[in-house]
Structure 1
């Protein structure tokens, strides 16, 4: 038992009552446009604009691997941009962009913010799409950083 609730559905339409944070993994080069972020942008414009500004102004802020940016998109819904991948995959890539240590650090920061807001956290299987990560390695991080602190977590599997 991990303490994570697995849901069939769309993480951009988080289920339940109260304050909700939709968490996802971003890269550290300012790229936004493929994978789960496309669904985020179809639903809300603010997270992409905030992420691009955060990256553009990185010399004056905390942007980098392991950082978290929360963007309020509805009265009770926030989006958490977690910087957990180094670059992006290209045709010449030899490794995967996921950085587990960065996701771990970002989840720790996310837990603090979720606790402050009294929020539940909703996410796809972060770091496992274009970032190339393994859910078997990420699930224990989610459990240790969020579930162990009493933060309700729902992981959404999209599709049939």
Structure 2
């Protein structure tokens, strides 16, 4: 120390006058300044950490924004594809409905034709029965002719001028 054992250090103030400073106060002020410096360094390290975290968050944000943009594009493509598929399905449905209408009308037409054919079949059955009766009559007439004798019956049929089958249907 400067020859002064009392622990008081001389100093000069702004006006040029001598100041008296206590060494204990100076030490306390120095310790306080060191504590303030430590606090500032802690605050600085926290700020640097926050800056790094913020930078990471910004990078994450950029990555997420690019992923969002890609997802939006993919979503638009999928939506367009969905609309195309729906339109294709509508077209297939229209085609199926047209086919069903065609087959329904065709079925109705076939039912009408079946009814006509059933009528023709009934008519043919009637014709068959008529022919069977005619054959029966012919057999009966033939049997009668054979009983009378073939020589006498044939000229009689020719003399009358009526064909044998006409005679059967007239009876």
Return the TM-score normalized by structure 2.
0.14
Structure holding more helix per residue: 2
Larger radius of gyration: 2
Structure holding more strand per residue: 1
| Structure of higher RCO (CA pairs closer than 8 Å, 6+ residues apart) | 1
Return the TM-score normalized by structure 1.
0.15
